[in-house]
A and B are shown apart, each in its own frame.
Chain A
Amino acid sequence: MSPPVRRRVFLAAGAGLAALMLWAFAGLPDFGHYVGPYGDILNRSAIPDRQVTAVVSAINFDYRGFDTLGEEFILFAAVVGVASLLRELRGERNRRPRDDARGRRVREPSVAVTLMGLALVGPTLVIGLYVVAHGHQTPGGGFQGGVILATALLLVFLADQYVTLRRVGPMALIELAEATGAAALGLIGIGGMIWAGAYFANFLGVGHAGRLLSGGIVLPGSIAVGLAVTGGFAFMLSEFLEQTLVVRRGRRRRRGRR
């Protein structure tokens, strides 16, 4: 297809898409004018029923906990996929871990990056733990907090070296966190079957809204997901870093250093 024809096809298709999008957007309800009963029902009942002030978390870990279990296992499957794709292959060899992407001669991070990274590790950990532990009270929850916690590990890498990252976040610990979190979420659901008659039924006391220990299974669910997501993202991060910094194809080595 020649360029002018291609442009004409694109313009026609683009105009059609724009028209359809405008038509669709014109039919959307206005901001704040939600239509549909479920949101309103849950907004009314989440605090008196479950003593949970973050309604989104109440939906994620209680009312629709089953969906979250599915999502959690999507992440789990993705992590397993990364692990099996990036496993050690024949003909690949590990070299001394170091950072040498082309055109980057600097081997050690600058003082500014190191200081910034070190200064941010602590606060990032605290924010991550806070977001996980207060999933039932304030916005956020296991997923968001888990990713924040995993980025703390990245800060360690930025501030120092890959070897340090291995020391503070050993692979075995990361895998354990991922597996424990995923299993714990499934077990919380089974706890509902045993003590409340249905999978993911809220079988713990709901307490009083505003207390840290309230909301029944919402907080344990948030912590389980936080553990699994921290492990999952830290695992993928480590695997990618390892591919970049450690693994080297054997045949490339024979041609000598560049």
Chain B
Amino acid sequence: MIVLQLAVRLLVARAALAVVTTRDPLRQAMVASLYGLILGILFFVWQAPDVALSQTVVGAVALPLMILLALAKVKDEEE
């Protein structure tokens, strides 16, 4: 259990770093989606399944989706 918690912690830290260091907004949205999923796993490992569910649906699906659609709209306007 301790090993698992440590592994997930490191994974979250690594993914968070990846979100910050990705410069292209389109890729950043995808990386943020992956980060949301990993954060959901962290909550699950810490025995908070309700929070994990919320985090996964919002962080991995809803938020990146809004960003992607907004990006598509902005690119459309730039043309």
- Which residues of A come within 8 Å of B, CB atoms? 31, 54, 56-57, 100-102, 131, 139-141, 143-144, 147-148, 150-151, 154, 233, 236-237, 240-241, 243-244, 248-249, 252, 258
Contacts and interface: CB of A to CB of B under 8 A. Distances in A.
B79 A148 contact: no
B74 to A, nearest CB: 9
Contacts of A258: 79
Contacts of A154: 61, 65
Nearest to B77: A249
Interface string B34-48: 000000000000100
Contacts of B69: 240-241, 243-244
A31 B46 contact: yes
Contacts of B50: 54, 56-57, 139-141, 144
Given A243-B73, A258-B79, A144 B61 contact: no
Contact of A240 (B66, B77, B79): B66
B37 to A, nearest CB: 14
Contacts, number: 59
A46 to B, nearest CB: 14
A241 B69 CA distance: 7
Interface residues of B, number: 22
B76 A101 contact: yes
B78 interface: yes
Interface string B44-73: 001001101110011001100110011011
Main secondary structure, interface of B, reads: helix
B58 A147 contact: yes
11 contacts: A101-B72, A101-B76, A139-B49, A139-B50, A139-B53, A140-B49, A143-B54, A144-B53, A144-B57, A240-B65, A240-B66
B23 interface: no
Contacts of A144: 50, 53-54, 57
A233 B72 contact: no
Contacts of B65: 154, 237, 240
B66 to A, nearest CB: 6
Interface in B7-53: 46, 49-50, 52-53
A143 B50 CA distance: 10
Given A31-B5, A139-B49, A258-B79, A147 B66 contact: no
B57 A151 contact: yes
B53 A131 contact: yes
A248 B76 CA distance: 9
Contacts of B54: 143-144, 147
